[in-house]
């Protein structure tokens, strides 16, 4: 295809501002689906975890035809934890749609993803979405976006960004917020006019940068990337240039381009095309597929280093091996190192002990998604409390600091400030948003956020909104006590009983109900005071001819607190582990 008729763009935004919903609308209006076809919402989020949580985790490619133009679109994650996906996507595209909520305005991750796009010199289009929201303030939000561009030192050309207003859910776009739109045609026109055609020379030697890796059970590893120069053909021999200067001679067995949600096989592709290449062994993100006679590598974008680490151990609890399929250190190690092939922002390292691996990622969500994927695949293991990745900068011990943004009703400002004060936070900005809401922006050590989310939800009666993203490294700020209460620890092996739990619940909040198998050293609840307390939740009421065995029915038990994976990771102390199996999450003391 003529490269002047191609537009390569990414959609970037803060989480939940409507990227995937907008892509849905673009796909539907470009005629990808036939009229009677039933299409589910957020069709791009194909992974089970993405659909369950309503977030995008992996960047996805699609392509739509508009008039004679082909628009290659990449839907990127909004969470900073998956920023590695965004960082490498900028190499694939020439422009970005920056989506901003018409009520919330720019948020922490908006700043993060926009900074990456501006640094790469991409042409921006600002899309103010959700203009139908109650209290939407599109004009003010445009001013806030301009301030953000200036703050991030955008070039003069980037500061002249065009603006369009959309309602992604109804699939409409308009150039004026007060004029209702009828379809997304104004957005398509703006993309064609403002996003440049791909640079590069089809006559030059081949250079294709691998940005994403996919896997197909029939075709094996698939390298996804953009052709920066030259032409690639099926069955031709190419040079695969790896990090460290290694060159491999390999043959292309399959070549595909995107059309809607499908991959269409083609015989050849040219400069500017985003393609899927199959048949290349051991190919990884960051490799260059080049001309065999004249192999020239492409420079790869720098990926921010991880800020948080977790130790993965082989499960050694009394219940080890009962629920998982893969339980050995060899299987666990193989799976963790395999993850590195597709996740560029993850690091895995062996330790002095053969059954322990140190896994570093971009945040709690990044690591918890990996853990959840492993348990769904049948792996069983234990993890330690997350630790921050410290650095020595100019001879000074330094730690990661997050920008924390909270939106809360006014009456909760006092309690929130008090809680965050003890976690070494610093208030950067306070803004009254009307309607009784206040936006607070803090800088806080990453350590200070451990365990804070559940505390925040309790303090604000579930009405607060919390977001955070890595901001910078700063000198270590001293000890932080993020947990003011101890654990309730089981005294013996057995099944929990109503009688034992009734006595235990007076000492704190329980995580288990009656009839749950427990073992000595397992954490079964949160103590109401500092320090751990050993309790017997398996205790049975002694029966005699004076007591009826049915008298237990009258016992009044408070329902146990359900603990998600992230809540367990936040809760465990330094001397505790989280046992993860396909069926269960159990917290326990390291020493039983």
Binding residues for GTP: 16-21, 129-132
Question: What is d(CA 158, CA 114) in angstroms, rounded to the nearest whole number?
Answer: 11
Tokens representing 466 are: 């919390």
Q: What angle do CA 128, 144, 184 make, to 5 degrees?
A: 10
Question: What is d(CA 100, CA 59) in angstroms, rounded to the nearest whole number?
Answer: 19
Question: What is d(CA 410, CA 466) in angstroms, rounded to the nearest whole number?
Answer: 15
C-alpha torsion sign, points 506, 510, 513, 518: negative
C-alpha torsion sign, points 176, 182, 183, 185: negative
Q: List binding-site positions.
A: 16-21, 129-132
262: Cβ contacts below 8 Å, ≥ 6 apart: none
Question: What is d(CA 509, CA 504) in angstroms, rounded to the nearest whole number?
Answer: 8
Contact (Cβ atoms closer than 8 angstroms) between residue 283 and residue 242: no
Cα dist from 249 to 16, 89, 206, 236, whole Å: 44, 26, 14, 11
Cα dist from 329 to 204, 335, 354, 586, whole Å: 48, 10, 7, 20
Tokens representing 183 are: 């379809």
Burial class (CB in 10 A: 0-12, 13-18, 19+), 211: buried
Task: With residue 138 as reference, give the H or E element that holds it.
Answer: helix 138-151
Contact (Cβ atoms closer than 8 angstroms) between residue 167 and residue 55: no
3-state secondary structure 430-456: EEEEECCEEEEEEEEEHHHHCCHHHHH
Cα dist from 552 to 199, 459, 501, 543, whole Å: 77, 35, 11, 11
């Amino acid at each position: 295809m003529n490269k002047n008729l191609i537009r390569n763009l990414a959609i970037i935004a803060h989480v939940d501002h409507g990227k995937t919903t907008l892509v849905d609308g673009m796909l539907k209006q470009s005629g990808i689906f036939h009229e009677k076809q039933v299409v589910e919402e957020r069709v791009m989020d194909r992974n089970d975890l993405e659909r369950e949580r309503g977030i995008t985790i992996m960047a996805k490619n699609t392509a739509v035809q508009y008039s004679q133009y082909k628009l290659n679109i990449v839907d990127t994650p909004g969470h900073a934890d998956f920023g590695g996906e965004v960082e490498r996507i900028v190499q694939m595209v020439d422009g970005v749609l920056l989506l901003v909520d018409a009520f919330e305005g720019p948020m922490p991750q908006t700043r993060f993803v926009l900074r990456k796009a501006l640094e790469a010199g991409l042409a921006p289009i600002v899309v103010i979405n959700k203009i139908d929201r109650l209290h939407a303030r599109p004009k003010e939000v445009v001013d806030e976006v301009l301030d953000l561009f200036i703050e991030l030192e955008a070039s003069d050309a980037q500061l002249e960004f065009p603006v369009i207003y959309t309602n992604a859910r109804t699939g409409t776009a308009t150039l004026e917020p007060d004029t209702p739109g009828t379809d997304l045609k104004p957005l398509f026109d703006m993309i064609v006019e403002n996003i440049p055609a791909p640079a590069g020379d089809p006559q030059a030697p081949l250079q294709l940068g691998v940005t994403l890796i996919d896997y197909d059970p029939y075709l094996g590893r698939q390298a996804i990337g953009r052709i920066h120069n030259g032409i690639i053909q099926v069955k031709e021999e190419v040079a695969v240039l790896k990090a460290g200067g290694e060159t491999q001679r390999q043959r292309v067995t399959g070549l595909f381009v995107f059309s809607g949600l499908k991959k269409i096989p083609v015989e050849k592709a040219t400069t500017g095309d985003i393609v899927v290449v199959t048949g290349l062994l051991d190919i990884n993100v960051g490799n260059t597929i080049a001309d065999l006679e004249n192999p020239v590598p492409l420079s790869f974008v720098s990926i921010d280093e991880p800020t948080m680490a977790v130790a993965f151990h082989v499960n050694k609890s009394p219940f080890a091996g009962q629920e998982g399929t893969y339980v050995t250190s060899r299987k666990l190690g193989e799976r963790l190192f395999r993850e590195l092939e597709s996740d560029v922002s993850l690091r895995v390292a062996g330790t002095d002990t053969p059954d322990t691996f140190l896994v570093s990622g971009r945040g709690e969500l990044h690591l918890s998604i990996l853990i959840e994927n492993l348990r769904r695949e049948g792996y069983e293991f234990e993890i330690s409390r997350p630790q921050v990745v410290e650095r020595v900068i100019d001879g000074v011990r330094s730690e990661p600091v997050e920008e924390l943004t909270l939106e809360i009703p006014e009456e909760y400002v006092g309690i929130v400030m008090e809680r965050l004060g003890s976690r070494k936070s610093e208030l950067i900005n306070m803004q009254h948003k009307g309607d009784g809401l206040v936006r607070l922006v803090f800088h806080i050590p990453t350590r200070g956020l451990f365990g804070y989310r559940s505390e925040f939800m309790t303090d604000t009666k579930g009405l607060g909104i919390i977001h955070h993203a890595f901001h910078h490294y700063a000198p270590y700020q001293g000890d932080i006590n993020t947990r003011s209460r101890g654990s309730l620890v089981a005294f013996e092996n057995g099944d929990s009983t109503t009688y034992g739990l009734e006595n235990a619940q007076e000492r704190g909040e329980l995580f288990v109900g009656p009839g749950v198998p427990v073992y000595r050293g397992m954490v079964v609840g949160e103590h109401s005071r500092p320090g751990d307390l050993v309790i017997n939740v398996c205790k049975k009421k002694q029966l005699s001819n004076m007591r009826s065995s049915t008298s237990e029915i009258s016992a009044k038990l408070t329902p146990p607190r359900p603990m998600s994976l992230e809540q367990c990771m936040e809760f465990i102390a330094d001397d505790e582990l989280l046992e993860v199996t396909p069926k269960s999450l159990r917290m326990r003391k390291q020493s039983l």
